[in-house]
Amino acid sequence: MSRMQPAEVERIADLARLELDAGEVQRMTAELDDRFATAAQMRADLDARRVASATLVETALARAEAAAGLGAFVHLQPERARTDAREADVRRARGDPRSRLDGIPVAIKDLMVQEGEPCTCASRILEGFVAPYQGTVVAKLRAAGAVIVGRTNMDEFAMGSSTEHSVYGAARNPWDPTRTPGGSSGGSAAAVAAGIVPIAFGSDTGGSIRQPASHCGVVGMKPTYGRVSRYGLVAFASSLDQIGPFAHTASDCALALAAIAGHDPADSTSLSEPVPDFAAAQSGDVSGLVVGLPREYFAEGADPEVLARVREAVAELERAGAKTREVSLPHAPYAIATYYLIATAEASSNLARYDGVRFGRRAEADSLGEMYRRTRSEGFGAEVKRRILLGTYVLSAGYYDAYYRKAMQVRTLLRRDFEQAFGACDLIATPTAPEVAFRIGEKTADPLKMYLSDIYTVSANLAGIPGLSVPCGFANGLPVGLQLLGRALDEATLLRVADAYQRRTAWHEQHPALDWERAK
C-alpha cells in the first residue's frame, strides 16, 4: 500500500530545505512509505542518517493536512515544529541527541498548556486564548527533544467518550469515518491510528485515553495518579486526571511515559517515587505472572464479540506463561455513579474560572451578573453545562453528605477492592470498553448511554492505579482493546505484559486503509 509518491517526497524535501538526488528520493520514498512507523523505527532511521527529523516533521504536518477530514487536529504549529526539528537534526549531527525521542514528531491534546500556543480545550469559551506559561509535560517533551506538531481534538474540557462534543466538530475514527474514535482524547488516538504521528498524548479522567485507544486500535496508557505532573493540564476533575501516551506499541509507550513521568514540585499531588526504566523492564517474559480476571467485568453488558477477543488475549498470555485467576471487585457496580458524582463536583469548581473576566471569551452585557451568565451560557457546550449543573448540585447545601461525601466513601471501598484483588494477582485484565467504536451521533442524545462507555475504565481513576489498553483483535472489522490494570506505581508490569503480548501478536500491525483520505 504505497501512499507516498516521489513527487511528494521532493515537495517535502523542499519544504525542509533539503536537497536530495534521485537515488535519495527513491530511497526516502521507500522509507517514508511506512506510514505507520513507530517512534523506535524512526529513531533507528534518524540514528542511521536515513532520515532527518525535519523530514519526519514535514511528513507529519503534510499528513495532518491531508487528513483534515478526520478532525484529529484542532491546531497545527508548523513554524515552531520546523524550527524544533532543525535543532534536533543539528543535535543529532553533533552526536548529542537529548533522548530517545529527540526529533520524533508528536501531538498533544488541546488541554495541555504550551507557552505561546493556543489552548482551547475544544471549547468556545477559550476562543483566542494563548497560554502565557509552560506546562510541565510540554517542558519535559521539549527537554527530551520531541517535536510537537500540533494539538488534537477532544470532547470539550475532556467531558465525553466520543470526541463529538467539540467546538471544532466531531473527530472521526480512521477505521470507519462514520464512527467516533472514542473520547475524550479521540483526536490523539486517531492521529496515531492514522499514522500522522507515532506518539500522541492525551488525558484520562475516566477512560479518556484507554477507551479511544481501544476504539482506534492503538496502545494507550493512563499512568498512576501522581506519576505525571498535572501542572499545565487544564483540569476537568483534579483528583482523577492524568496525562498519558498513545502509540502503536507498548514499547513506544514506555519511551513516551519515561519522558513525561516524575516528580514535579509545581504539582502538590505529584509523587516523589523514582521512575523506573520502563523500556529495560520489557523483557518479553511474563511467565509466572498472575493475571486477575474480575468476575464482575466478564458478567454481562459487554458485546460477546468483544468479550471473546479479550478471552483470546488472556489465553495468549497464558500460552506465554502467565497464570490466570478469578478475582472480585465487589463495588464495581457503583463505579460509574461514584465517578460521575466526584468528577462533576470537581469540574463544577474547576470551570468556575471561565467567567469572561480575565481571558477567553466574554459576552457583552449591562451588568456583571448578566456578563457571567451570558459568557458561560454561550461559551460552554451542552455536555459541559450538564456536568457543571450536576456537580454544583452534588456540592450544594443539603446534598453534600448524601452525594459527594458518600461518593468519596465508596471511592475508598473501590480502592480497597483493588488492594485486595492485587493481593491475589499481579495485574488485572478486562475489556477496555463494552463495545467497539460506535457511530457518530449514536449516543449524543442519551448521556447515560454515553457514560456507560466508561464502565470498565473509571475504577482505575477512582483508585488512582495505572491502566492501559492494547489492541487484541477485531470485532465486526473494528479494533478491540484489552485493558490491563496494575498496582499503583507498577506501570512497568503493564508495559512489560503488553509488550510481550505484542511480540506474540500482530494486531498492532494492522492499520486502517485510509481510503477516506484519498476520497477526500
Partner 1 sequence: MSARLQPRGDYEVVIGLEVHVHMRTASKLFSPAPVRYGELPNHATHPLDLGMPGVLPVLNRRAVELGVRAALATHCKVHSRSIFARKNYFYPDLPKGYQISQYEEPLATEGWLEIEAPSADGTPHTVRVGLTRIHIEEDAGKSIHDAAIAGSAGSHVDLNRAGVPLLEIVSEPDLRSPEEAAAYLRKLRALLRWADVSDADMEKGQFRCDANVSLRRHGAAQLGTRTELKNLNSFRFVEEALYAEIARQAALLDGGGRVVQATMHYDPVRRATRVMRLKENADDYRYFPDPDLVPLVIAESEIDAVRRALPELPEDRRARFESEHALSGYDARLLTESRALADFYEAAAIRSGQPKVVANWMLRDVLAQLKERDCEIDATQLTPDALAKLIALVEDGRVTAASARPLVAVLIERGVDPETLVRERGLEAVSDTGLLEAAADEVIAAHPEVVAQIRGGDARGLNFLMGQLMKRTEGKANPKAVREILARKLAG
Alpha-helical segments (H) within 16-52: 22-32, 39-47
Is 378 an interacting residue with respect to partner 1 (CB under 8 A)? no
Q: Exactly one of 69, 116, 169, 265 binds partner 1 (CB under 8 A); which one?
A: 265
Rounded Cα gap, residues 165 and 154, in angstroms: 8
The H or E element containing residue 410 is: helix 406-421
Q: Which three cell numbers stand for residue 379?
A: 461559551
Determine whether 144 is exposed, middle or buried from the number of CB atoms within 10 Å of its CB (0-12, 13-18, 19+).
buried
User: In the complex with partner 1, which residue's Cβ is closer, 235 or 313?
Assistant: 235
To partner 1, the closest distance from the beta carbon of 54 in angstroms equals 30
Q: Exactly one of 26, 178, 269, 377 binds partner 1 (CB under 8 A); which one?
A: 269
Is 132 an interacting residue with respect to partner 1 (CB under 8 A)? yes
Q: Exactly one of 40, 57, 111, 468 binds partner 1 (CB under 8 A); which one?
A: 111
The residue type of 512 is P
Is 236 an interacting residue with respect to partner 1 (CB under 8 A)? no
User: In the complex with partner 1, which residue's Cβ is closer, 298 or 359?
Assistant: 359
User: By CB under 8 A, which span of 78-86, 236-244, 311-319, 329-337 interacts with partner 1?
Assistant: 236-244
Rounded Cα gap, residues 108 and 118, in angstroms: 12
Active-site annotation holds for 323: no
Is 306 an interacting residue with respect to partner 1 (CB under 8 A)? no
Q: Tell me if 224 sits within 8 A of 271, measured CB to CB.
A: yes
To partner 1, the closest distance from the beta carbon of 350 in angstroms equals 9
User: In the complex with partner 1, which residue's Cβ is closer, 36 or 359?
Assistant: 359
Active-site annotation holds for 377: no
Write down the catalytic residue from 184, 188, 203, 348. 184
Rounded Cα gap, residues 73 and 367, in angstroms: 37
Estimate the crossing angle of helix 491-504 against helix 304-319, to 10 degrees.
Answer: 90
Cis upstream peptide for 184 (omega within 30°)? yes
* String marking each residue 390-409 x if it binds partner 1 according to CB under 8 A: --x--xxx--x---x-----
Active-site annotation holds for 385: no
* String marking each residue 335-374 x if it binds partner 1 according to CB under 8 A: ----------xx-xx-xxxxx-xxx--------x---x--
Look at residues 391, 374, 460 and name the one whose alpha carbon lies nearest to residue 236. Answer: 391
Measured in whole angstroms, how far is the alpha carbon of residue 370 from the centre of its chain? 37
Look at residues 100, 59, 97 and name the one whose alpha carbon lies nearest to residue 78. Answer: 59
Q: How many residues in total does the chain contain?
A: 520
Rounded Cα gap, residues 327 and 292, in angstroms: 6
Q: Within 11-70, which residues bind partner 1 (CB under 8 A)?
A: none
To partner 1, the closest distance from the beta carbon of 171 in angstroms equals 21
User: In the complex with partner 1, which residue's Cβ is closer, 51 or 235?
Assistant: 235
Q: Tell me if 151 sits within 8 A of 117, measured CB to CB.
A: yes
Would you tell me which residues interact with partner 1 (CB under 8 A)? 111-113, 119, 121, 126, 129, 131-133, 135, 230-235, 237-239, 265-269, 345-346, 348-349, 351-355, 357-359, 368, 372, 392, 395-397, 400, 404
The residues annotated as belonging to the active site are 109, 184, 208
